[in-house]
Amino acid sequence: MREPATREGLPSGSGLVCSMAFIFSTSTDQTVEVVSTVDPSVVASEEAKVEYLSTRDESLFDSTEGATRFTLRALSPQAREDAEVEAGAYSRSELGRILWTEQPDDPKERARWQHDLPEDERRALGEYNRYLSRVYREMLRAGLVSIEGHDGDPLELVDSIRPDHHRQVLMGELVAHIQALSLLPPAGK
């Protein structure tokens, strides 16, 4: 059986409150600095890159010299909900959401599966994918604090990354880091 959570081990002044087995963050001031696995300056095996996305442990990499560094902040539940609402949570396609969860993982199977969908279902899936892109942008707008060496709007700089595939992967990674920082107990942060 699991031991109940205690205050021992929590950093002094961390803004964390322990109650029973739940740990609540009382502050969204917590920030982390991350790099992107798609950054050409990040040298590592594919396995290390995948593990980094859940641990943020840069010691997994052979090198990050010259890599772009992003500062991210934790988002409150209200800020995450606001991002979803701003992106269109109340008008998104529910059929698209269901189809999105049912699509195959293998890219070739997914392509054939999508090709065989009736036109209305393809349209619904496309609408839901556009909604997800808007959610990512709104979460980045709220959670991306800065990009090292850049004084302007960090989202504008992200928008200028080419090729597009690198920009899309970067945005997905940054949102995954923001979500993990916002939702995990302190040991996972």
pLDDT (mean) for 12-29: 53
- Secondary structure of 77-128 in the HEC alphabet? HHHHHHHHHHHCCCCCCHHHHHHHHHCCCCHHHHHHHHHCCCHHHHHHHHHH
pLDDT bucket at 47, cuts 50 / 70 / 90: very high
Q: What is the pTM of this model?
A: 0.78
pLDDT digit string (tens) for 74-126? 999 899 999 999 999 999 999 999 999 999 999 999 999 999 999 999 999 99
End-to-end CA distance of the chain: 24
Whole-number Å distance between alpha carbons of 176 and 157: 19
Whole-number Å distance between alpha carbons of 167 and 159: 7
Tell me which amino acid residue 89 is.
A
